[in-house]
């Protein structure tokens, strides 16, 4: 097969690829990550590159303007390598996988207040449940009585007897690899050893043994594997103290911004392996960074707990996710057994354990289970709702008597994907917007206080709400004919200029088009309709709901009043909203530290009924009614006053 060299600029990274490979495929091989939210389907138009030298066969040009074609701009996913190439990847086409700043990480964790400075929220009435301290793995120091002529119990029986006495259990298991050097270890250590014991379901297993007393050094890591962001914490398993937190963007985004794109990529040759390697590279790098920062020996990291949606867990474990998206939408697993961390190529102690939080269904995974555990929704007397707003939208309604869940096919719009100037919540992303209704001047705030580069999800919600309140946007999502340099006609309709080119990092106008507004309208409509249909299905109204928990990284930045104005959240008493941040990571941490929490997570997952919206005829009616700002039935949003 004929091969060509592709050089990516300004990185100056080179890779040799076979003829007829796409530039997008070549970039992945070279370690250059190009933004392709659609997964290389050629429909989003975000993977624009400039061909400096060489020839390509272009399969799609509909997403390019005449000026871009003159400048030799091509879509990386639709350009086939036909010769040696030099390809420039502009900043706006790149995926930035740098770790999040400490401030961004902290904002994604847990908080109980709104991003709206005008609204004061009360915290949940009941305190979080306290779980017994029984971590996934424990180090136990044993001073064993030496054998004598009168006490000839074997070394293994002697060891097991001591451990069972300490743990107060009838039996433990041990592998042959540990038994082989047991006799020498006991004698060389003077019969003083530290045994690391892991909980694997209903039984205890001796994972490994060390001479002397090393029991003070036992650590674990918990992860929230999100479609967009991967977060983790290093935890002292003895004290329960969180030593450090890291977060980074999920490198799987290079293969598509949503789970469906990634499932489709997993079906390609080596696709599953590529997706697995992408996320494990992120996870291993964060583990390495944390242990270096906190001077922890990697061999002392003995347990990992991961929470994530069903697709993310399949990809982590290298399990084929194909059937998640095929009727009748049944995953290979919801309850993964406790495994060796090395089975998933996670670099901790080679005998360390990996537990994945159990999920409910193909589209309601362990991240939601962990969120229910974290919020305490499962033990409340009154009916409450958990809404996890992220790349996917999941809703759980219930109390201590019942739990019912649904997944809204909202798409990744609230992560800034698929929008003309959308971007993830990274430095330079516009996250807050205010518009003066008199002159339509725009005041905005970016993440990191940097120069504006694009708009993230919370910035879009603010922008739409502010345009509605300023009277330049109608309830159908169309821009009105208002005389202003900020409102203008483009090739496909009107657009609103949030930031003019002179003020932007890309030196191009940052705009919101009517197509963007339509995309966001459908996303908000899907989440509101899913929530409303669950409430109605069980014979309730929103006024019957005691608390609405808003979870997920996106919810951290959400301005509640603006979310209600556009019809994303119901118009109810503001005191009923409780912003809980990354409840998935918080739940995973609880499970890492307590076998009781892990058992309870299993009970929650089994107890939760999955409501399939796609076969519910009333859902489409509810969805269509929600495709207005804020809704077709304005009596549901009495506090919203629009021009």
Domains of the chain: which residue ranges? 3-93, 137-211, 219-356, 376-412+521-637
Q: Where would I find the H helices in 168-206?
A: 176-180, 182-188
Beta bridge partners of 346: none
Please state, in angstroms and rounded to a whole number, the distance separating the CA atoms of residues 428 and 431. Answer: 9
> Could you give the 3-state DSSP secondary structure of residue 219?
strand
Please state, in angstroms and rounded to a whole number, the distance separating the CA atoms of residues 322 and 455. Answer: 33
pLDDT at 119: 34
Q: Are domains 3-93 and 137-211 of this chain identical in fold?
A: yes
Please state, in angstroms and rounded to a whole number, the distance separating the CA atoms of residues 152 and 155. Answer: 9
Mean pLDDT of the chain: 90
Residue with tokens 């997952």: 605
Question: Which pLDDT tens digit goes with each residue over 307-364?
Answer: 999 999 999 999 999 999 998 999 999 999 999 999 999 999 999 999 999 999 999 9
Domain 137-211, CATH among 3.40.50.300, 3.40.50.1100, 3.10.20.880, 3.40.640.10: 3.10.20.880
Question: Which pLDDT tens digit goes with each residue over 555-594?
Answer: 667 899 999 999 999 999 999 999 998 999 999 999 999 9
pLDDT at 62: 61
pLDDT at 369: 98
pLDDT at 476: 95
**DSSP string of 4-60?**
EEEEEETTTEEEEEETT-BHHHHHHHHT--B--TTSSSS-S---EEEEEES-EEES-
pLDDT at 123: 39
Question: Which pLDDT tens digit goes with each residue over 173-204?
Answer: 999 989 999 999 999 999 999 999 999 877 89
Please state, in angstroms and rounded to a whole number, the distance separating the CA atoms of residues 616 and 625. Answer: 15
Work out the number of other CB atoms within 10 angstroms of the CB of residue 575: 11
Please state, in angstroms and rounded to a whole number, the distance separating the CA atoms of residues 237 and 216. Answer: 9
> Is residue 117 over pLDDT 60?
no
In the sheet with 13-18, reading across from the earlier edge strand, the strands are 13-18, 3-9, 85-88, 48-53, 73-75
Supply 54's token pair: 């060489």
Strand bridging mode 393-398 / 577-581: unpaired
Backbone angles phi, psi at 576, to 5 degrees: -85, -10
Could you tell me which of 331, 341, 365 has the C-alpha nearest to residue 198?
341
Peptide bond into 328 cis (omega under 30): yes
Please state, in angstroms and rounded to a whole number, the distance separating the CA atoms of residues 396 and 398. Answer: 7
Question: Which pLDDT tens digit goes with each residue over 605-615?
Answer: 999 999 999 88
Please state, in angstroms and rounded to a whole number, the distance separating the CA atoms of residues 231 and 105. Answer: 8
Mean per-residue pLDDT, 397-426: 86
| pLDDT band at residue 118 using 50, 70 and 90 as cut-offs | very low
> Is residue 85 over pLDDT 50?
yes
The CATH superfamily assigned to 3-93 is Beta-grasp domain (3.10.20.30)
> Is residue 126 over pLDDT 60?
no
pLDDT at 639: 95
Q: Is the separation of the CB atoms in 552 and 95 below 8 Å?
A: no
Listed range (110-114, 175-179, 576-580, 599-603) with the worst mean pLDDT: 110-114
**DSSP string of 584-622?**
HHHHHHHHHHBHHHHHHHHHHHHHEEE--GGG-HHHHHH
Q: Is the separation of the CB atoms in 74 and 85 below 8 Å?
A: no
Please state, in angstroms and rounded to a whole number, the distance separating the CA atoms of residues 420 and 525. Answer: 20
Could you tell me which of 516, 521, 582, 523 has the C-alpha nearest to residue 549?
582
Could you tell me which of 131, 199, 208, 144 has the C-alpha nearest to residue 167?
199
pLDDT at 100: 64
pLDDT at 128: 66
Please state, in angstroms and rounded to a whole number, the distance separating the CA atoms of residues 544 and 189. Answer: 64
Beta bridge partners of 430: 446, 455
Strand bridging mode 454-455 / 429-435: parallel
Does the CA dihedral 563-568-570-576 come out positive or negative?
Answer: negative
Question: Which pLDDT tens digit goes with each residue over 146-159?
Answer: 998 988 899 999 99
pLDDT at 420: 86
Question: Which pLDDT tens digit goes with each residue over 3-42?
Answer: 899 999 999 999 998 888 899 988 988 888 888 877 777 7
Q: Where would I find the H helices in 359-456?
A: 366-375
Q: Which CATH class is domain 376-412+521-637?
A: alpha beta
Please state, in angstroms and rounded to a whole number, the distance separating the CA atoms of residues 447 and 424. Answer: 10
Domain 219-356, CATH among 1.10.3720.10, 3.30.420.480, 3.30.70.20, 3.40.462.10: 3.30.420.480
Please state, in angstroms and rounded to a whole number, the distance separating the CA atoms of residues 167 and 154. Answer: 20
pLDDT at 558: 83
Supply 32's token pair: 């250059």
Question: Which pLDDT tens digit goes with each residue over 417-470?
Answer: 778 898 877 788 999 999 999 999 999 999 888 899 999 889 999 999 999 999
Question: Which pLDDT tens digit goes with each residue over 372-393?
Answer: 999 999 999 999 999 998 777 8
> Is residue 89 over pLDDT 50?
yes
pLDDT at 98: 64
pLDDT at 554: 67
Question: Which pLDDT tens digit goes with each residue over 254-302?
Answer: 898 889 999 999 999 999 999 999 999 999 999 999 999 999 999 999 9
pLDDT at 103: 53
Q: Is the separation of the CB atoms in 212 and 189 below 8 Å?
A: yes
Backbone angles phi, psi at 636, to 5 degrees: -80, -15
């Amino acid at each position: 097969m004929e091969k060509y060299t592709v050089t990516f600029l300004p990185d100056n990274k080179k890779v040799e690829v076979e003829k007829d490979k796409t530039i997008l495929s070549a970039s992945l091989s070279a370690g250059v990550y190009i933004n392709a939210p659609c997964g290389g389907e050629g429909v989003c138009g975000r993977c624009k590159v400039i061909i400096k030298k060489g020839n390509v066969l272009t399969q799609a040009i509909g997403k390019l303007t005449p000026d871009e074609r003159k400048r030799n701009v091509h879509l990386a996913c639709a350009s086939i390598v036909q010769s040696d190439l030099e390809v420039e990847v502009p900043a706006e086409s790149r995926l930035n996988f740098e770790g999040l700043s400490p401030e961004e990480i902290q904002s994604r964790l847990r908080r109980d207040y709104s991003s709206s400075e005008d609204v004061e929220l009360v915290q949940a009435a009941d305190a979080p449940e306290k779980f017994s301290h029984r971590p996934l793995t424990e180090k136990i120091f044993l001073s064993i009585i030496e054998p004598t002529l009168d006490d000839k119990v074997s070394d293994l029986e002697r060891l097991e007897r001591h451990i069972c006495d300490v743990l107060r259990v009838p039996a433990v298991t041990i592998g042959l690899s540990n038994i082989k050097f047991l006799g020498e270890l006991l004698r060389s250590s003077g019969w003083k050893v530290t045994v690391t014991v892991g909980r694997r379901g209903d039984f205890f297993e001796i994972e490994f043994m060390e001479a002397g007393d090393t029991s003070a050094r036992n650590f674990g890591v918990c992860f929230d594997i999100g479609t967009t962001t991967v977060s983790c914490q290093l935890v002292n398993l003895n004290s329960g103290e969180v030593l450090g937190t890291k977060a980074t963007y999920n490198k799987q985004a290079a293969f598509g911004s949503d789970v469906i794109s990634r499932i489709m990529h997993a079906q390609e040759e080596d696709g599953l392996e590529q997706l697995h390697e992408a996320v494990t590279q992120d996870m291993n790098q964060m583990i390495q960074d944390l242990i270096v920062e906190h001077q922890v020996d990697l061999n002392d990291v003995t347990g990992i707990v991961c929470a994530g949606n069903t697709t993310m867990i399949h990809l982590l474990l290298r399990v084929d996710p194909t059937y998640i998206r095929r009727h009748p939408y049944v995953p290979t697993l919801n309850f993964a057994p406790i495994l060796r961390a090395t089975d998933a190529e996670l670099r901790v102690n080679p005998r360390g354990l990996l537990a994945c939080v159990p999920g409910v269904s193909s589209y309601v995974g362990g991240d939601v289970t962990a969120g229910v555990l974290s919020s305490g929704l499962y033990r409340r007397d009154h009916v409450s709702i958990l809404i996890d707003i992220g790349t996917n939208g999941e809703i759980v309604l219930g109390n201590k008597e019942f739990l019912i869940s649904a997944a809204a096919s909202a798409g990744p719009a609230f992560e800034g994907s698929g929008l003309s100037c959308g971007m993830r919540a990274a430095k330079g992303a516009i996250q807050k917007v205010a518009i003066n209704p008199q002159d339509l001047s725009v005041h905005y705030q970016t993440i990191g206080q940097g120069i504006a580069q694009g708009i993230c999800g919370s910035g879009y919600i603010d922008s739409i709400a502010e345009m509605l309140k300023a009277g330049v946007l109608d309830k159908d999502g169309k821009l009105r004919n208002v005389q202003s340099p900020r409102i203008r006609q483009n090739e496909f309709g009107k657009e609103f200029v949030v930031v003019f080119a002179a003020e932007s990092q890309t030196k191009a106008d940052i705009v919101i088009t009517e197509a963007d507004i339509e995309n966001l309208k459908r996303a908000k409509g899907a989440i509101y309709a899913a929530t409303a249909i669950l409430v109605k299905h069980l014979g309730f109204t929103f006024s019957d709901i005691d608390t609405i928990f808003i979870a997920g990284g996106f919810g951290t930045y959400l301005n509640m009043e603006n979310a209600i104005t556009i019809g994303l959240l119901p118009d109810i008493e503001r005191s009923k909203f409780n912003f809980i941040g990354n409840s998935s990571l918080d739940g995973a941490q609880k499970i890492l530290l307590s076998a009781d929490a892990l058992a309870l997570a299993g009970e929650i997952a089994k107890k939760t009924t999955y409501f399939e919206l796609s076969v519910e005829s009333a859902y489409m009616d509810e969805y269509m009614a929600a495709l207005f700002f804020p809704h077709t039935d304005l009596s549901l949003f009495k506090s919203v006053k629009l021009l």
